[in-house]
A and B are shown apart, each in its own frame.
Chain A
Amino acid sequence: MESDDAMGVGSPIVRSRRRRVYALVLAIFFAAIPSWSVRAEDAGLEAALAGLASRDFREKGAAVAAIAESEDPSVSRILEALLDARLFVRAADARIVGAEGEGDDVAYFDAATGLAIDAADAAGLKKIIVNNRMRTDLRTTLARLRLASPDAEVREIAAKSMMADRSPRTLELLREAFSKERDAGVRETLRVALALSELESDDPELQLGAVGELAGSLHGEVRNALAALIERSQGDPAEQGEAVRAVRAAAEAAIASIDRKRSGLALVETLFFGLSLGFVLVLAAIGLAITFGVMGVINMAHGELMMLGAYTTWGVQQLMPDAIDASIFVAIPCAFLVSGAVGVVIERGVVQFLYGRPLETLLATFGISLILQQAVRTLFSPLNRAVETPGWMSGQWVVNDALSLTYNRLFIVAFSIAVFAALVGLLHATGLGLQIRAVAQNRDMARAMGVRGSRIDAVTFGLGSGVAGLAGVALSQLTNVGPNLGQAHIVDSFMVVVFGGVGNLWGTLVAGLGLGIANKFLEPFAGAVLAKIVVLVFIILFIQRRPRGLFPQKGRSAGVT
């Protein structure tokens, strides 16, 4: 919301309107006298709020602290509004106004009194801007307040955010909360937070107990706190008491055990990163494995078909802006149909005349890829489109404190497996699949058996293209949706198909996953640039030795495609 100074403070219209407002507010006040009369005494909050209107972040920070100290019942409501950028200064009278709700049904309230304000009187609002430091302060302050929340999840988050803040006041609060807590999960978090606070004490006995409590925890703060404890206790062992030495030994043992567990989990994490990258590669390559692998057509426009899928996702989101969460499930069939249809048009319009002439096919499809790119540029502008991530796909699944997996990658892994399984099923368990394989192996023989070769060609090409569209849906969640999206993935896709062995879906799967994992294991040592080069060089050398890839086709069909 911008500052809107269209209505001057002193203009007669405003004045008369304001008089009306006063009358209205007065009426509300009288209706709500019991609560108002209590709050009217609370001048501290009023004064503290005034500081929020300042431009200086230090003054604003002080105002937040003052608000928190006022212990007014509406403190958490005000601070939450401030944290979510829903708190405003009214230009007309410098009163602080909060907003609640979304879209058209936003309700405004006066921060000092907590009373509702008519939307018409909420004109000329200027948003109160907070910076990172204030946000951190706000979260810790709110965490203290939320420790008593009835919602276990809120308490859990509050307890977690209190781990970093180890002041004596926190210790008291935590002790109190711990004694009252019933929920097992929150209790566990509180126990760790409490132990962390106890580490800070000077009593070796208390410290030793705390180290024991913390030994199994993988939380990031724990290791740091233990390391800090060891550092503090560095000194001449002779001068230190038995107890201090015992504490240090216990802390060292605890750190060693944490590090052991962590390195195991780091391996799992890298493996997951590799798998998720691998499945993206598989998804991008699998459509190509059908058009290139099964039909033998070098389709340079494959990347652009993925791009169309990604743009379809964007288009679907534009059509249903209020249901982003569901949009992806609408986008999946849409993208398949759009890319599939374009694929069929390409096959019927160009490729069918060029079967058996790979060079011409390559050039023609390259031309098509340029046409598609330029068409998108002219139609939608060369700028990237912003595809929103559905709420359920953002964030991460926290396995434990040291290992968490992001939802969007998990979704893509699942999606890829589903697409792969569906394709294998289609090719090997249906009549259509049988016909596709028959035409791919021996066109003339298949036709002699009554299979309509040209129709099958169109369907197969459409299928491969549709799968490229599906890959586009997935990529729209990972990377930029723009005219160059296809170019960025076409080389990788060809690499995977060639490496895996042309004409073999399982080869594509193994090659994609293998390359993904190899890439991710190399990256920490070699860096992203070098890791890519190393993988490429490896593939070149491998193809020199085994030109037909990992899983070459054997027998009679090998010579045909």
Chain B
Amino acid sequence: MKIHRMLKKSLAITGIAFCAALPAAAADTIKVGVLHSLSGTMAISETTLKDTVLMMVEEQNKKGGLLGKKLEAVVVDPASNWPLFAEKARQLLAKDKVDVVFGCWTSVSRKSVLPVFEELNGLLFYPVQYEGEESSKNVFYTGAAPNQQAIPAVDYLMNEIGVKRWVLAGTDYVYPRTTNKILEAYLKSKGVAQADILINYTPFGHSDWQSIVSEIKKFGSTGKKTAVVSTINGDANVPFYKELGNQGVSAEDIPVVAFSVGEEELSGIDTKPLVGHLAAWNYFQSVSAPVNDAFIKSWKAYIKNPKRVTNDPMEATYIGFNMWVKAVQAAKSTDPTAVQKAIIGVEAPNLSGGTSKMLPNHHITKPVLIGEIQEDGQFATVWETEGLVPGDAWSDFLPESKIIEADWTAKLNCGNYNTVTKKCSGQNF
């Protein structure tokens, strides 16, 4: 054991020494840009992803690098400041000349860097579940689109739990609003009446949930099974769940299914009152698969903290990184245009034991898992889709985006193709 650890340590030291010696040999490396906030409000979530990319880079270098060259990570800090994201992206692409960028968390930061990547023809791997309605030539979306998270979660509640009344509760910004718009349209298409849907928005960091929980309780007391679909973001979740517990709303009465609460978020709170509430993701740390066990082990060793958890965006980063590596190997070049062509159809293992594939619309196939929160802050998978779900960039449940298609193969070569007017409108990068 000891020798093993020493070996690892010495390896790490060699790694550091190697990195320090890199600038001299810069021409012989492939540069990997990391664009995640390391300070400000988003630092809590994004720092983990920066570490994940660094770990992947280190592991790839241990395997002998890529195309005979070593990988070199270039880390910048956009400080949870959306305009700064665009500036830092420009710096990475124009000044540091990175070959690929892994980064962004919030949708607004992605929207902010999008024009930069399109102008300078860079590659961005975006690892977080998002609201969809986008497909850029330069961005690869390895997190879930709404049809890979929200829609299956609603299906589960409707078919398995028999939910008839719906509360759509969210924080007041673009992701919850778009997701709820899609969900509302979907529910109505399934014959749910307007009177059985309650939509509620709260500001960021909302802490007084008394009236809202009381309203949910009343809404759910009509005898029909009620569930809350929560797009409440960040730490406003803690007082929300606390209030649910205090007012005696248990997961058996009114289950809450959350799209933004993962292992990392749960690690900071007392999970006893949350047991039984649900979350929908494409990955849980508790998934039993040899590839997942190996990933968790190497993550804990890399971060030197046996208590750290893994989560869904980390898995998305893992898949994205491996897909990029495979595409570069296939294209025998890191040139963005060549990689864009080569990556479509590339397959890489996901951590739940299957194989994800990059689709022509720059989204990937993923399994969808529904988990119940356990007392130890982990999720127990209670349901999963049979097979993988392909990510849909443009929702089929909104009339305006139903007719839009994204396909970056030679067939259309467009991220926003209108099937009615037969025109590639707007986003034609």
Contact = CB atoms under 8 A, between A and B. Distances in A.
Interface of A: 57, 85, 129, 131-133, 135-136, 139, 220-221, 224-225, 227-228, 269-270, 273, 276-277, 280, 382-386, 388-389, 394-396, 404, 406-409, 478-480, 482, 484, 488, 520, 523-524, 527-529, 532
A396 B248 CA distance: 7
Contact of A527 (B200, B207, B268, B375): B200
Nearest to B275: A85
B223 A389 contact: no
Given A129-B374, A132-B252, A528 B235 contact: no
Given A132-B372, A404-B247, A480-B235, A273 B201 contact: no
Contacts of B203: 528-529, 532
Contacts of B212: 523, 528
A384 B222 CA distance: 37
B223 A228 contact: yes
Given A85-B374, A394-B246, A384 B269 contact: yes
Given A276-B210, A528-B203, A132 B276 contact: yes
Nearest to B239: A479
A386 B246 contact: no
A480 B223 contact: no
A425 B245 CA distance: 37
Contacts of B43: 382
B211 interface: yes
B335 interface: no
Given A131-B372, A270-B211, A520-B210, 15 more contacts: A57-B382, A85-B374, A85-B375, A129-B372, A135-B276, A224-B223, A277-B210, A384-B235, A386-B269, A386-B270, A396-B247, A404-B247, A478-B208, A484-B205, A488-B205
Nearest to A519: B208
B248 A404 contact: yes
B206 interface: yes
Query: 9 smallest A-B Cβ distances: which pairs?
Result: A224-B223, A479-B207, A406-B246, A129-B380, A220-B221, A273-B210, A480-B235, A131-B382, A528-B202
Given A135-B252, A404-B247, A480-B238, A383 B375 contact: no
8 contacts: A132-B372, A133-B160, A270-B211, A273-B211, A384-B269, A484-B41, A524-B211, A529-B172
Interface residues of B, number: 45
Contacts of A478: 207-208, 239, 242
A394 B239 contact: no
Contacts of B13: none
Given A270-B211, A528-B202, A529-B203, A394 B273 contact: yes
B124 interface: no
Contact of A132 (B201, B247, B251): B251
B109 to A, nearest CB: 18
Contacts of A382: 43-44
A403 B35 CA distance: 51
B246 A277 contact: no
Given A228-B223, A383-B44, A273 B214 contact: yes
B252 A136 contact: yes
Contact of A529 (B160, B202, B246, B382): B202
Given A276-B210, A408-B246, A480-B239, A133 B161 contact: yes
Contacts of B375: 85
A389 B375 CA distance: 16
B255 interface: yes
Interface string B190-218: 00000000001111011110111011000
Contacts of B208: 277, 280, 478
Contacts of B251: 132, 135
A452 B338 CA distance: 79
A132 B255 contact: yes
Interface in B9-62: 41, 43-44
A303 to B, nearest CB: 13
A132 B372 CA distance: 8
A384 B423 CA distance: 49
B8 to A, nearest CB: 21
Chain A interface mostly: helix
Nearest to A480: B235
A480 B246 CA distance: 16
A528 B201 CA distance: 7
Interface in B374-395: 374-375, 380, 382
Contacts of A479: 207, 238-239
Contacts of B276: 131-132, 135
A529 B177 CA distance: 14
A492 to B, nearest CB: 11
Interface in B263-291: 268-270, 273, 275-276
B167 to A, nearest CB: 14
Contact of B207 (A227, A395, A407, A488): A488
A139 B276 CA distance: 14
Nearest to A224: B223
A406 B172 contact: no
Nearest to B205: A488
A132 B269 CA distance: 21
Interface string B84-108: 0000000000000000000000000
Contact of B201 (A270, A520, A529): A529
Contacts of B172: 529
Given A135-B276, A529-B202, A269 B246 contact: no
B370 to A, nearest CB: 10
Contacts of B221: 220, 224
Interface in B336-394: 372, 374-375, 380, 382
Contacts of A132: 161, 251-252, 255, 276, 372, 382
A409 B200 contact: no
Nearest to B265: A384
Contacts of B270: 386, 388-389
Contacts of A383: 44, 268
A552 B222 CA distance: 49
A138 to B, nearest CB: 10
Contacts of B248: 395-396, 404
A520 B211 contact: yes
Contact of B268 (A385, A484, A520): A385
Contacts of B238: 384, 479-480
A271 to B, nearest CB: 11
A386 B272 CA distance: 12
B1 to A, nearest CB: 14
B372 A524 contact: no
Contact of B210 (A409, A482, A484): A409
Contact of B246 (A220, A385, A396, A528): A396
Interface string B231-252: 0000100110011011110011
A269 B214 CA distance: 9
A394 B202 contact: no
B246 A407 contact: yes
A378 B275 CA distance: 32
Nearest to A138: B252
Contact of B206 (A269, A520, A528): A528
Given A129-B380, A528-B202, A224 B246 contact: no
Nearest to B213: A406
B126 to A, nearest CB: 23
A389 B211 contact: no
Interface string B137-169: 000000000000000000000001100000000
A524 B208 CA distance: 13
Residue in A131, A227, A386, A395 with the greatest tally of chain B CB atoms within 10 Å:
A131
Contacts of A85: 275, 374-375
B81 to A, nearest CB: 16
Interface in B250-266: 251-252, 255
Contacts of A524: 211, 215
A396 B247 CA distance: 6
Contacts of A227: 223
A146 to B, nearest CB: 17
